[in-house]
Amino acid sequence: MAETDFERIFHPRRMAIVGVSSEGGYGFANGMLLACRAMGFAGEILPVNPKGGSFAGQTIFRSLEEIPGDIDFAVIAVPAPAVPEALEACRRKGAAGAEVLTAGFGETGTPEGRGLEQEIREIAARGIRVVGPNCFGIYCPASGLTLLPGPDLSREPGPVAFLSQSGGMSIDLAHLGGWMGLRFSKVISFGNGADLREAELLRYLTDDPETGVIAMYVEGVADGGDFFQAIREAARRKPVVVLKGGLSEAGGRAVVGHTASMGGSRAIWSGVLRQVNAARVESLEELAQACLAFSYLPARVFRGISAVGGGGALGAAASDAAEAYGIRVPEFSADLRTRIEAILPQPGSSAANPIDVANPFVPPALLGRVLRLAAEDGRVDLQVLISLLYHYKSQARAMGVGVADITPHAELAETVATAAADSGKPVVMVLPDLKRGPEDLDLAEMMARAREEFTGRGIPVFGAIGEALRAIGHVSAYYGRRLLGEES
């Protein structure tokens, strides 16, 4: 079998969408055509349906054979029994691959479903690679391929790859990551994984120069030994973050019906992931946060941090969380402490590390000076700055102005980014979003823009102290164990 041409799969110039209906509606094929167009997909889109007609201004080919010339890739969204024939036609048209969105295969547990999935596997073996069936497809920001139902994902590429057996998890991470500042190389929802699945895709992403971090949502693996080899090699070269679904009895039941997977026990998964040095996460949110840290922070161990916030409990919370993830908050020397104290508001501040700057309204320039001073401690490898921007709303109200008029988030982002660059010590922001009622949409807008100010300058932003430290802990633990592995 010829080597897979992943380039033609992820950056197709000519893509058939099989199942587009001239009667409109919101079927998968029509939805995918509109979504790819909304995304500005640069290639040619070739809709196919035996009934012909047209949709959204495009003539629908009655068959794949009718399309002049070869195709690179196809989206297949016809009823399950018609999938094998459509896939075979794509293969004959020279497609390097196809994604099958349709459900109703192995996951049904019926002989018919299993038989149809076996047919897909046999056609694939003859020379077309298949993503799916029962999946949401491929999101590739560089080419404009998108997931169901994603007309509005970012076109900005980045280092995060995501392999997901669940379509829902793939589109959820694409959306969640979008506003968090995650940027993706490829997101691949592979559903039942009749052909392409975890081990082979891991190997592809391990070699993919566009991918710096590999995240996975796994329900079950086809070949444990092969997966072990693939993930071990991947984690030797890049951070790998794994969310395993279906570890409980009921969760295992769910994944059988979802993607026809066998779950595996919690103890086995926990052991394997530790052994191969993959970061194990417990939720999609934690996965996104870990990817944010891996893609924004330098590739290194963070032995110690400074924690800076306006309010004493913030520093205590950051210190407690840091220790829980094996990171120290070293006490500053008397000299450094005195120099920091000299610039902080009094009373109510503290400069021992954690640093309590006393209130949430300390000007950005002063915070920048605090960060520069704290960076002088050689035991500080990273700084965490917690800012309760929501307090500006009460302030704005008292002054009779809008919250956007007085919150210095852009200035703060610029100051923080400069302090990080000048000191060579990264800064992680924590911007808790503590007011989110219908009467606080002005705050929602400000917080969203503040986040962009920071992420646009390469500063990762988390919504809670514990989440930030947990994510930093994943990065530090990964590089620490990798270092140990390289030494041994």
Nearer to its own copies, 7 or 270 (CB): 270
- The answer to whether 98 and 48 have CB atoms below 8 angstroms apart is no
Task: Name beta bridge partners: 76.
Answer: 18, 100
Nearer to its own copies, 91 or 393 (CB): 393
Figure out which of the listed residues 54, 59, 248, 265 binds its own copies, where binding follows CB under 8 A: 248
Tell whether residue 150 is a contact of its own copies (CB under 8 A): yes
Nearer to its own copies, 157 or 463 (CB): 463
Closest to 46 measured CA to CA, from 31, 28, 66, 27: 66
Annotate each residue in 389-408 with x if it binds its own copies (CB under 8 A) or - if it does not, as one string.
-xx-xxx-xx----------
SS3 content of the chain, % helix, strand, coil (to 5): 45, 15, 40
Q: Is the Cα torsion angle 48, 52, 58, 64 positive or negative in sign?
A: positive
Nearer to its own copies, 257 or 298 (CB): 257
Distances (CA, A) of 457 to 271, 305, 308, 451: 38, 20, 19, 10
* CA–CA separation, 165 and 190 (whole Å): 5
- The answer to whether 453 and 413 have CB atoms below 8 angstroms apart is yes
Tell whether residue 168 is a contact of its own copies (CB under 8 A): yes
Tell whether residue 167 is a contact of its own copies (CB under 8 A): yes
Which residues from 332-351 bind its own copies, rule CB under 8 A?
A: 347-348, 350
Figure out which of the listed residues 92, 114, 300, 328 binds its own copies, where binding follows CB under 8 A: 328
Closest to 131 measured CA to CA, from 182, 46, 184, 188: 188
| Least distance from its own copies to the Cβ atom of residue 487, Å | 28
Tell whether residue 282 is a contact of its own copies (CB under 8 A): yes
75 contacts: CB under 8 Å, gap ≥ 6 = 15, 16, 17, 18, 29, 32, 98, 99, 101, 137
Tell whether residue 285 is a contact of its own copies (CB under 8 A): yes
| Least distance from its own copies to the Cβ atom of residue 194, Å | 15
**Under DSSP, is residue 480 helix (H, G, I), strand (E, B) or coil?**
helix
Annotate each residue in 28-57 with x if it binds its own copies (CB under 8 A) or - if it does not, as one string.
---x--x-----------------------
Which residues from 413-442 bind its own copies, rule CB under 8 A?
A: 432, 434-438, 440-441
Which stretch in 8-16, 57-65, 91-99, 167-175 sits in contact with its own copies by CB under 8 A?
167-175
Residue 3 DSSP symbol: P
| Least distance from its own copies to the Cβ atom of residue 162, Å | 13
| Least distance from its own copies to the Cβ atom of residue 207, Å | 28
Figure out which of the listed residues 300, 466, 481, 482 binds its own copies, where binding follows CB under 8 A: 466
Nearer to its own copies, 275 or 359 (CB): 359
378 contacts: CB under 8 Å, gap ≥ 6 = none
482 contacts: CB under 8 Å, gap ≥ 6 = 235, 236, 277
Figure out which of the listed residues 127, 224, 251, 408 binds its own copies, where binding follows CB under 8 A: 251
Figure out which of the listed residues 26, 69, 209, 225 binds its own copies, where binding follows CB under 8 A: 26
Tell whether residue 322 is a contact of its own copies (CB under 8 A): yes
Nearer to its own copies, 64 or 317 (CB): 317
Tell whether residue 315 is a contact of its own copies (CB under 8 A): yes
Which residues from 294-313 bind its own copies, rule CB under 8 A?
A: 307, 310-313
Figure out which of the listed residues 222, 254, 301, 410 binds its own copies, where binding follows CB under 8 A: 254
Tell whether residue 104 is a contact of its own copies (CB under 8 A): yes
Tell whether residue 152 is a contact of its own copies (CB under 8 A): yes
| Least distance from its own copies to the Cβ atom of residue 465, Å | 7
- The answer to whether 122 and 87 have CB atoms below 8 angstroms apart is no
Residue 2 DSSP symbol: P
Distances (CA, A) of 410 to 181, 422, 449: 16, 18, 9
309, containing H or E segment: strand 305-309
- The answer to whether 374 and 353 have CB atoms below 8 angstroms apart is yes
Which stretch in 148-156, 197-205, 208-216, 419-427 sits in contact with its own copies by CB under 8 A?
148-156
Figure out which of the listed residues 163, 194, 317, 382 binds its own copies, where binding follows CB under 8 A: 317
- The answer to whether 166 and 188 have CB atoms below 8 angstroms apart is no
Which residues from 56-95 bind its own copies, rule CB under 8 A?
A: 80
Tell whether residue 283 is a contact of its own copies (CB under 8 A): yes
Which residues from 183-222 bind its own copies, rule CB under 8 A?
A: 217, 219
State the number of CA atoms in the 13 A half-sphere of 148 facing the CB.
25
Determine how β-strand 184-189 pairs with β-strand 137-139: antiparallel
What is the layout of strands, in order, in the sheet containing 382-386?
355-356, 305-309, 382-386, 427-430, 461-462
271, containing H or E segment: helix 266-275
209 contacts: CB under 8 Å, gap ≥ 6 = none
Q: How many residues are listed for the chain in this entry?
A: 488
Nearer to its own copies, 179 or 275 (CB): 179
Which stretch in 115-123, 228-236, 325-333, 418-426 sits in contact with its own copies by CB under 8 A?
325-333
